[in-house]
Structure 1
């Protein structure tokens, strides 16, 4: 059993304001995985105070970019050396299948390397050439850190979400308070251990597991200069309103209801080979999951049958089992939420192709959901419009390509999506017409050098690479 009975504040493990520890239960069988201290508002106040002092009076913001890069490169190497342990703990506390948590470790390296490359290539200070040759004024443009950053992440992919924020924030010279979900107290304790070793100055970073009330105290704190949030659109709206009232900088990576467009010429074998990874990764608890499958009317039943076969072939069960593709939901309330949506789909008149609201046989103890596919779905149905965050797919028919584009864009969200076609250039032309932040062609994995983020209600701002680093910088112009 793993125990973290202290809080990581300003680079040191310190006594929490409340001695009560939270039990972290396995989503698979509800056994006790570990216990961890939880932050309260008083702990947030301490973390913000040391972050404020470290930014205003400390060395990190004025450390040469090359030195900051070296520290973050060391963090990346430390994480790589403990990848197996990290993956195992996330699987134990989250219920994410072992294949997913292990496969995600090299992605974390690529994500970090993209930020490091951007920082190495950034002109932190440059002198602009005047447009008028006769001008006597020169402009020096500096890129400087914003200040104290509150980074707030969800539970579904804790290392990816946390590193996507703290690496660029620290590279830019900011100080950071990372607020994590109570469910991730153990894996984020491992992250804090790495941060304690990598060479950051005192006060530069804190890692606080805490509930929503404490999280709101953090983002509302007057000494926080920027909020970086990943989570639900509802919570994002609340955070945006707080940031607006206080004129804080804010970036939001929110929900999605993404579409996978299967064009008439698509190779169905290739589509089904990539379907599980595009549509059902991380037990369906993924904001980028392409849960609306758009199929041409001419091949509709063929696509529905192919999707059914793939979903029924996926093993559901113990996430530690190497053969398991889909594990349990994170909590019992999330399990019930997904089952309720399946009931809603049935009541709305969608055709239940496979699955249903019943718990998988033999998996009654954990928080399991039967992977479910609906056909004959109208895009106006709730199961086609609302983010379910579980292993539930809907197949929607379209008449022609214009209709497919219209249906894909007929959503309040715009985070991800995909196009499947035998003609890559034609697929690219369709992808250009979709109002979403990230598109893939024929199941290509998302890269980390390009910007990642959402249109519409899927968020504000971008992560990854130069765009993500720029989110944590202020521009200053000095004229000479």
Structure 2
């Protein structure tokens, strides 16, 4: 019997699999086949209370917060090894849950393990005490200590269901927090591999806990009095709701939300290189990546050339069975998301945009599954809905600009500010231009997150930073102890 078959009826808290008391289950659908292939329990408030109690006991009673950060780091390294050893099982589950191509999901375990190892190495940063002399009182100083916040609720999305948990879990663990993880309803199974790995790694009971529940029940987790910190990745709409909840409770929250990033193609760009990069920088995971640069900004002098290059690249990229090693574009992750994407394609056509490739209807030869045609729109004004609203699917718009300052204006003419990139042969000039874009991160001729550098959104794209040492700050609180004497 596989781990999947054994554990689909259970929740995980206190170091063991426990039957849910709700009696309600959520179906898991394979988006490539539209077939229901598993069920998980929909935890009720009583289940959530038990999971939080287990996390709280591990934090306060069993002393996860009290051991050194280096000791916690040793546990994390063991967890990384056990997690990475389960890479293939993890990849198969994710692909079956959300349709992400197997070539992408095979990277999930390594990426998660890398995050655990990176943060495991930051024990000195966590435990270091800053001694700061008074600038106006000789012979006095202040010790500044970091303390873990407590139980953290980690709420995951469906597009990268493991990676976007690990980006929260790793800094929380090294900081000394314990966690309750709530995966998306569409992708509730993959993190069971992480629970298996945590047991095999010998993590103390209750440090990591997992509850599967509906959107209607998650409020009981967010508002639980023993939850000291909330971290969420998902839509801006849901992020606003969580921010309101946490604001009312004066509870710190990190929000990594939507995006409508711009890819600015400068006049001197290498068009062949740009065309080879576009599916990675603008349509990664079938367009279901928050930082994708789904607005292509092209100079008027090369506009038609850019449109042709983008359309040709998208049209020639393989779409289909996500378990095929050559597939780049899989299905939308759910029927709901498929309907959203296909509706936006219709909206773009109604707004007067020209379809350079793709358009309405199902892709040829894909009669089942939530497959939308990868679509490129030309003759797009930046005020159109398809240029302003996050589609989260395989849809790109190409917007013309007059000069570089016009490109900056258009790039910034968005409620979002998450990612983006600039294609140019003058990379120093590209970096100077990037500094004018109102966004949390930019790439010059490529885009990839760096585990050691902060990542987060501006404007409607979020609150707070993840990755890097900065990611730890969200899970700690500072205490100043004032003393007499010389700073040590």
TM over 0.5: yes
Provide the residue aligned with 1:405 in structure 2. Answer: 408
Partner deviation per Cα, 1:334-385 (whole Å, 9 max, x = no partner):
1011000000000111111111120112212111101000011111110001
1:174 maps to 2:206 = no
- In 2, Cα distance between the equivalents of 1:238 and 1:273? 39
Cα distance, 1:413–1:309 mapped onto 2, change above 3 Å:
same
Shift of residue 451, structure 1, vs aligned partner: 0.1
TM-score by length of 2: 0.95
Shift of residue 22, structure 1, vs aligned partner: 3.0
Provide the residue aligned with 1:82 in structure 2. Answer: 86
Matches within 5 A, 1:223-238: 223-238=226-241
Is the CA contact 2:73–2:123 (under 8 Å) kept in the aligned structure 1? Answer: yes
1:72 maps to 2:76 = yes
Shift of residue 147, structure 1, vs aligned partner: 1.2
Provide the residue aligned with 1:325 in structure 2. Answer: 328
- In 2, Cα distance between the equivalents of 1:22 and 1:280? 29
- In 2, Cα distance between the equivalents of 1:18 and 1:194? 26
Is the CA contact 2:230–2:251 (under 8 Å) kept in the aligned structure 1? Answer: yes
Say which is worse superposed, 304-313 or 45-54, in terms of deviation: 45-54
Provide the residue aligned with 1:44 in structure 2. Answer: 48
Provide the residue aligned with 1:110 in structure 2. Answer: 114
- In 2, Cα distance between the equivalents of 1:99 and 1:232? 25
Provide the residue aligned with 2:188 in structure 1. Answer: 185
For residue 438 of structure 2, give the secondary structure of its aligned residue in structure 1. Answer: coil
Is the CA contact 2:126–2:174 (under 8 Å) kept in the aligned structure 1? Answer: no
- Out of 186, 210, 222, the residue aligned to residue 219 of structure 1 is 222
For residue 158 of structure 1, give the secondary structure of its aligned residue in structure 2. Answer: coil
Matches within 5 A, 1:273-422: 273-422=276-425
- Out of 138, 149, 153, the residue aligned to residue 150 of structure 1 is 153
- Out of 422, 428, 431, the residue aligned to residue 425 of structure 1 is 428
- In 2, Cα distance between the equivalents of 1:119 and 1:396? 46
- Out of 249, 256, 260, the residue aligned to residue 257 of structure 1 is 260
- In 2, Cα distance between the equivalents of 1:242 and 1:225? 13
Shift of residue 82, structure 1, vs aligned partner: 1.4
Shift of residue 18, structure 1, vs aligned partner: 2.3
**CA RMSD, Structure 1 to Structure 2 (Å):** 1.5
Partner deviation per Cα, 1:161-187 (whole Å, 9 max, x = no partner):
111111111111112111111222221
Say which is worse superposed, 350-359 or 18-27, in terms of deviation: 18-27
- In 2, Cα distance between the equivalents of 1:125 and 1:33? 51
Provide the residue aligned with 2:247 in structure 1. Answer: 244
- In 2, Cα distance between the equivalents of 1:246 and 1:378? 42
- In 2, Cα distance between the equivalents of 1:106 and 1:445? 15
Higher helix proportion: 1
1:59 maps to 2:63 = yes
Is the CA contact 2:387–2:397 (under 8 Å) kept in the aligned structure 1? Answer: yes
For residue 286 of structure 2, give the secondary structure of its aligned residue in structure 1. Answer: helix
For residue 329 of structure 2, give the secondary structure of its aligned residue in structure 1. Answer: coil
Provide the residue aligned with 1:95 in structure 2. Answer: 99
For residue 451 of structure 1, give the secondary structure of its aligned residue in structure 2. Answer: coil
Partner deviation per Cα, 1:99-134 (whole Å, 9 max, x = no partner):
1112344333433333233334445323224435x6
Q: Which consecutive unaligned segments of at least 5 residues does structure 2 have?
A: 484-488
Aligned length: 479
Provide the residue aligned with 1:469 in structure 2. Answer: 472
For residue 393 of structure 1, give the secondary structure of its aligned residue in structure 2. Answer: strand
TM-score by length of 1: 0.97
Is the CA contact 2:59–2:207 (under 8 Å) kept in the aligned structure 1? Answer: yes
Shift of residue 19, structure 1, vs aligned partner: 3.5
Is the CA contact 1:27–1:95 (under 8 Å) kept in the aligned structure 2? Answer: yes
Is the CA contact 2:68–2:127 (under 8 Å) kept in the aligned structure 1? Answer: no
Is the CA contact 1:297–1:399 (under 8 Å) kept in the aligned structure 2? Answer: yes
Say which is worse superposed, 112-121 or 321-330, in terms of deviation: 112-121
Say which is worse superposed, 299-308 or 110-119, in terms of deviation: 110-119
Say which is worse superposed, 437-446 or 427-436, in terms of deviation: 437-446
Shift of residue 447, structure 1, vs aligned partner: 1.1
Q: Which consecutive unaligned segments of at least 5 residues does structure 1 have?
A: none
Provide the residue aligned with 1:435 in structure 2. Answer: 438
For residue 135 of structure 1, give the secondary structure of its aligned residue in structure 2. Answer: coil
- In 2, Cα distance between the equivalents of 1:29 and 1:315? 17
Is the CA contact 2:179–2:208 (under 8 Å) kept in the aligned structure 1? Answer: yes
Is the CA contact 1:38–1:209 (under 8 Å) kept in the aligned structure 2? Answer: yes
- In 2, Cα distance between the equivalents of 1:126 and 1:147? 22
